[in-house]
Amino acid sequence: MSKPSVSSLERAWECPASCAIRTQVHSTGGGAIRGDRIHDFAEHVLSGYETRDAALAKVPVEYRQTCADIDWSALVGDIVTASIRCEVAYAVDAATGNVRELGVGLKRAYPESSETEIVGTNDVEGLLLSGVPVVQDIKTGQPVTAAKDNWQIRYHAYVQYIRTGAPVVVGRLAYIAEDGNVTLDSHAFDAFELDDFPSQLRGVFARIAKAVEEVRSGLVVVSEGPHCRYCGCFASCPAKVGMIRSLAPALGEMAAEAGEFAELTPQRVGEIWMRFKELQPMVKRIDEALKEYVRSRAPGEVVQPDGKVLTDVVSGKDYVKGDRALALARKCGATDKELAECVERTEWRSMRAVAPKKTKAKKGEEAV
Ligand code: SF4
């Protein structure tokens, strides 16, 4: 059994088998590297280890613009500066509810913890100007479960609830976008929500123990969902492996039939189309699952038969915001004719399955 960390608590709850089946690998992909670099920058600036400019100079050039543009007033503007602490690691004991501070800036190199302790690191903590304790997790990628229902945020809110004795703790997810904009997702956790957190942790341990027993008896029950992202069990997960195995023959059959297209009747093409559409989401899921796997391995580890190395590439593109550009152009006096010259129409074709229209029955006839 692998004990979950704070960041994998949600997955452990949703799919306890992920802590029971073998092969655990940790993400070192591009998304994780980008996130780590932006975290490091924010931590150094907020903790006062370095000036903003000195910290910025150390950020790899591909992430520097995002860091330079971070909206600090949105990120920490309402937190008392002197109260801010970053990257503080804790252990919460599910058996007793006790909280231990493990250190600051440990970079996930946690000291030993007991079997019932869950360890994790809080990105930012402090006191709001109103005096209420706040915990904040910085995110640089895809949205995660809302703060209100987020295990990681609830964990850190519980830590401050115990340490400060405050009746309410604000938990936040702070999303830093590519352009440095910050969006906050906040929830004020009260005593009612936090009191039974240790018992919820015990619930996670109980689920994992059950999954371990099932795996021992040869039964692996997994539960797929958004929590599969960055799961280290991909290579041993029956759902992922089975999905790939089952899809290949079905697509193979279809490709063979489609190769003899002239021989097919319109009715058979209709059948193949319907089956193909059923399988398409599975192709997408396999695409996502394979990407997750590659991201979870060391760079350069997954190589195609032609020798090319599968690489997780992070790229971005700048778009002009149409509505804002239009408003600006109007403000600057652009005429409708001038604006119309800036518009280009793009058309595309798609195929949809449309139910045939029912013809209206005349009196004495049946509807078709
Ligand atoms: S990849 Fe498999 S084991 Fe991991 S969380 Fe998803 S379903 Fe569970």
Does residue 296 contact residue 32 with C-beta atoms inside 8 Å? no
d(CA 62, CA 67): 10
Would you give the end-to-end CA distance of the chain in angstroms? 61
Tell me what percent of the chain is helix, strand and coil, each rounded to the nearest 5: 45, 15, 40
Please report which confidence band the pLDDT of residue 47 belongs to, taking 50, 70 and 90 as the band edges: confident
Please report which confidence band the pLDDT of residue 253 belongs to, taking 50, 70 and 90 as the band edges: confident
d(CA 118, CA 4): 7
Q: Are strands 168-176 and 133-139 parallel, antiparallel or unpaired?
A: parallel
The pLDDT score that the predictor gives to residue 25 is 52
Residue 224 Cα: closest atom of ligand 1: 7
pLDDT tens-digit map of 221-234: 899 888 887 787 77
Within 10 A of 172 (CB to CB), how many other CB atoms are there? 24
Within 10 A of 180 (CB to CB), how many other CB atoms are there? 17
Asked if residue 89 has its Cβ within 6 Å of ligand 1, the reply is no
Residue 18 Cα: closest atom of ligand 1: 3
The pLDDT score that the predictor gives to residue 24 is 53
Helix segments in the chain, DSSP class H = 9-14, 30-47, 52-57, 61-68, 72-76, 151-164, 191-194, 197-216, 238-259, 266-296, 322-331, 336-340
Q: Which of 58-67, 87-96, 197-206, 343-352 has the lowest mean pLDDT?
A: 343-352
Mean pLDDT (whole number) for 298-306: 87
Mean pLDDT (whole number) for 207-223: 90
- 224 Cα: distance to centroid of ligand 1 (angstroms): 6
* Best mutation site among 222, 285, 290, 292 for ligand 1 pocket (most ligand atoms within 8 Å of CB): 222
Check residue 345 and give left, alpha or beta (phi > 0: left; psi -120 to 50: alpha).
Answer: beta
Identity of residue 74: A
pLDDT tens-digit map of 169-197: 999 999 999 899 999 999 999 999 999 99
Asked if residue 215 has its Cβ within 6 Å of ligand 1, the reply is no
Supply the pTM of this predicted model.
0.71
Q: Atom 1 in ligand 1: which residue has the minimum CA distance? A: 228
Asked if residue 154 has its Cβ within 6 Å of ligand 1, the reply is no
Sheet harboring 133-139: ordered strands across?
99-104, 85-93, 117-127, 133-139, 168-176, 182-190
d(CA 229, CA 27): 10
Residue 227 Cα: closest atom of ligand 1: 5
- 96 Cα: distance to centroid of ligand 1 (angstroms): 29
- 22 Cα: distance to centroid of ligand 1 (angstroms): 12
Q: Which residue has the tokens 């078709």?
A: 368
Average pLDDT, the chain: 87
Check if CATH label 3.90.320 holds for domain 6-214.
yes
Mean pLDDT (whole number) for 80-90: 95
- Residue 138: CB partners within 8 Å, gap ≥ 6? 38, 39, 42, 75, 123, 124, 174, 176
